Structure 1
Amino acid sequence: MQNQTSPLLQRLADVPVIPVLEFHSVDEALHVSEALVTGGLPLLEITLRTPVALEAIKAVAAALPQACVGAGTVLNVEQLHAVRDAGAQFAVSPGLTPALAEGAQGAGISLLPGVATASEAMAALEAGFTFLKFFPAQAAGGVPMLKSLGGPLPQLRFCPTGGIDAALAPTYLALPNVVCVGGSWVVPKDAVASGDWGRIRTLAEQARALRNKR
Structure 2
Amino acid sequence: MNDARFDEISKIFAQYLERKSPPLHFRGNPPIEQREAMLLLQVLLKWAPASNPAPFVRAVLKRIEARNRTRIWPSVGDLEGTCSEISKSMRTTTGRSLYEPNREEILVRRLEGRDAIGEDELYSHRMAGLVASGRLSPELLEGPRKRAHDQRVKLYGAERAERQRLAMLSRYEDALAQHLRDLGVPQSELCEVSG
Q: Normalization by structure 1: what TM-score?
A: 0.22
Q: Normalization by structure 2: what TM-score?
A: 0.23
Q: Which has the higher strand share?
A: 1
* Greater Cα radius of gyration, structure 1 or 2: 2
